Amino acid sequence: MKIRIFLVIALITSLNISAQNIELLKDWKFTNYDYGAAFQEDFNDTDWENVTVPHDWAVEGDFDFANDVQLTMVIQDGESTPKYRCGRSGALPYVGVGWYRTKYHISAADLEQKVQLLFDGAMSNSKVYVNGAYVGERPFGYISFYFDITKFLKEGANTIAVRLENYNSQSRWYPGAGLYRKVSTIKTNKTHVKTWGTFVTTPSVSKKKAIANLTLELLGNGNYTIKNEILNPTGKIVSSKLKEVTIRDSVLVHEDFEVSQPELWNLETPNLYELKTTILKGNDVVDTYTTTFGIRTIRFEVDGFYLNDKKVRFKGVNMHHDLGPVGAAFHRELFGRQMKKMKEMGVNAIRFSHNPPAPEALDICDELGLLAIDEAFDEWQIGKVMNGYSKHFDKWSKIDLSDMILRDRNHPSVIMWSIGNEIMEQYKHDPNKITAYLNNIVKSLDTTRATIAGFNSAKNAIDSGMATTVDVAAFNYKPGVYGAIRKQNPNLKFFASETGGAVSVRNSYKFPVVFDTIHGKRGDSSHTVVYPDGHPGNFETTNVPWGYPAYKEFAAQDTYTSVYGEFVWTGFDYLGEPSPYHDAKSRSSYFAPVDFVGLEKDKFYLYQSQWNKEKEVLHFFPQWTWPDLKVKSFPVVCYTSYDKAELFVNGKSYGVKTKQPLRQLNFESSNIAKEASGGGNWDLFKAYAIVWDDVVYEPGEAKIVAYDKNNNKVAETKRVTAGAPHSIKIEAEVTGLIEGEVGVYVVSVMDKDGNLCPHYNENMTIEVSGAAKFLASGNGDPTNMQNLSKPQRKLFNGQAVIYVQSTIKGNVIVKTTSGELKATHNQLLVK
């Protein structure tokens, strides 16, 4: 019998409250020195740095590979002995102690209320004090948590102090440091809706009506009237109920509502409703709590995932939590920038790897119509790094997992709970049955979504029963054994939770173009070319040993349509894990179709041509300026959604070509124990791209003309050999900012005719004035070791990006100078 899971869900995102008062605590004092008495109320912090939260103290420091040397053995990479690694966690000075202090003012009348102190995330090992008294602690840096601080408060100014400490070898990637997400106080009546205390599901949905079920937890004492109102996406009340309730410390309230002709939440029209809960004492409003939610159903079948009874293939990416040059400090507009870029590429799903995200990140998924996987842990009891989460697992895992679900279980975007990623217990067949332990915790709080875990050993996960303990199995880097998994496990529901692994940097090309064809016993690619300059090319020929180019996954998923889809590793490049450049050359990753500063690599257009059916794609590479070319000819590759295309070089045709569909998969194995599916080849490449094999380079113009099935010309694009650098072009990605928001400028060096100069790599100075301050800059080069927070940057292959933070209303002025080249931009307005 098929198991069906239906869901329509609500989200608690930001509390749009009248009776509750929320105050963001933005202005803090900070020091990296570990003062033993810094928790005391009267401690003198006048010489501490003034900072604004969210704040990442480490991203402001200098890169140094001595910051994060790790001696570790990565079993997932096939290693059998420990090796020293540098840059694995970003080469930034995140290790150490940070103290934060701020003042919170409260009136005598407010002392009669409840006050909670909420942290969206604090990295890490936090200890919280109010007026010198210890309040509580939380070791996990990614989890949201709150404390009731009412009894610690007094009339007037109150001192809140937070001690954080990061340890060496506590992370496999850059974790960030400090109060890197929002901190706020929530002031309520003593009788109130519990924080994260609402849960809305819809067990029945049709075109005519939906039944919404509310479970509501109330705290306090006394007799009250509870009014619940559902507002549709235009703000109109469409359903409401009153209930008399007696509260004795706490009570759970259940209500069912009928919503006529519901407007569903889906990928195309992510409609959002609101449920407004009001606690009344007579005619007096005691508390108000607003929950935003979306009406939709999900179910998980053997043949696929269904949203509102429509089968949807995951066209997903994994996302680490840093936002490029600003580090881990969460800025809503920058994450929104990332998600809009992913939507443009054709992405419909995000896996937050490998930790709970900022709550606003899920808000954005809700608003944009992106499916989301909320992930709890990268380690269980058996660690991957010396000071990782395994040290805290036994004491804190139930609390951390529960809080993640309670905070996020109302987001319509969230469709799966991931209880772990590549957990080491899979290699020992889960001796302490932790998979079942965590799965049961999830089911005690939410039965409407699927549980998953990410497995990089398919055989161990299946043989141990771990893959079937969760609702849906998630496999990393296994396109060669999808057929074998399905044949041996006909009822298993599964998808690809990590795919890819080819590495590249923007606008970099290496000749000759050669694929690795040697494979090890595990099926891993034995590619040995690690380029001395740290800049692999963009022909998808260089990959980590366990990885492979995008089109290998396309081929496997096209063949096995019951696989739910894929999540590419990763959507954006991120700080840390510079595989395969672990030898102290690089400090950020190479995997993504979008680089560290948000500029597209060539394979962005490969994914776009496959995934974004609304976009007409015509993109080719390499670039066409080669003054020192060492080869006579090279391949020209076109990623396109058109049927056929013709290449011209200075008017000479290289012929009309099409993609060449595969006759069969040539990388499959019947052995599930084959751990990797490494490498690529031209046959696979040409099934998803148009390729002209040997094109003689001539300075001038390369042009591609696209044709439809009837040979009608429908589009063209060209590249022109660039002349000498002539000017700097500065482009603001948006035209306006709200005060406090971060804006992004793209800087490009052009010749006199407006062509990008792709070999320009000189230093640039940056000056920001007017209505904003300079925040950070970057260029997409993983080997660039310039401080991210200082106003200078080498351009990389002709481009760089500047981040500014608005401070007042008015115009933002950005000036850049590089050699004799200068430019000014002042068209960005702060409202």
Catalytic residues: 422, 498
From the list 555, 658, 18, 562, the residue with the least C-alpha distance to 300 is 562
- Locate the DSSP E strands across 282-354: 284-294, 298-301, 304-307, 310-312, 314-319, 349-352
CB 807 within 8 A of CB 773: yes
Distance CA 651, CA 649 (A): 5
Task: List CB contacts of 161: < 8 A, sequence separation 6 or more.
Answer: 38, 39, 40, 43, 99, 100, 101, 128, 129, 130
Distance CA 455, CA 435 (A): 12
Distance CA 488, CA 602 (A): 38
Task: List CB contacts of 110: < 8 A, sequence separation 6 or more.
Answer: 187
Distance CA 170, CA 672 (A): 32
CB 800 within 8 A of CB 747: yes
Provide the token pair at 471.
């609702």
Distance CA 506, CA 535 (A): 9
Q: Is 633 helix (H, G, I), strand (E, B) or coil?
A: strand
Distance CA 168, CA 124 (A): 12
Beta-bridge mates of residue 475 = 455, 496
Q: Is 161 helix (H, G, I), strand (E, B) or coil?
A: strand
Q: Is 292 helix (H, G, I), strand (E, B) or coil?
A: strand
Alpha helices in 83-164 (DSSP H): none
Distance CA 195, CA 501 (A): 41
Distance CA 446, CA 334 (A): 31
- Burial track 648-659 (b if 16+ CB lie within 10 A, e otherwise): ebeeeebeebeb
> Which amino acid, one-letter code, is at 402?
S
368 sits in which H/E element: helix 359-368
From the list 354, 552, 554, the residue with the least C-alpha distance to 452 is 354
From the list 449, 142, 153, 420, the residue with the least C-alpha distance to 299 is 449
Distance CA 413, CA 363 (A): 8
CB 262 within 8 A of CB 295: yes
In sequence order, what DSSP letters do the residues of 213-257 get, joined into one string? EEEEEEEEEEEEEEEEEEE-TTS-EEEEEEEEEEEEEEEEEEEEE
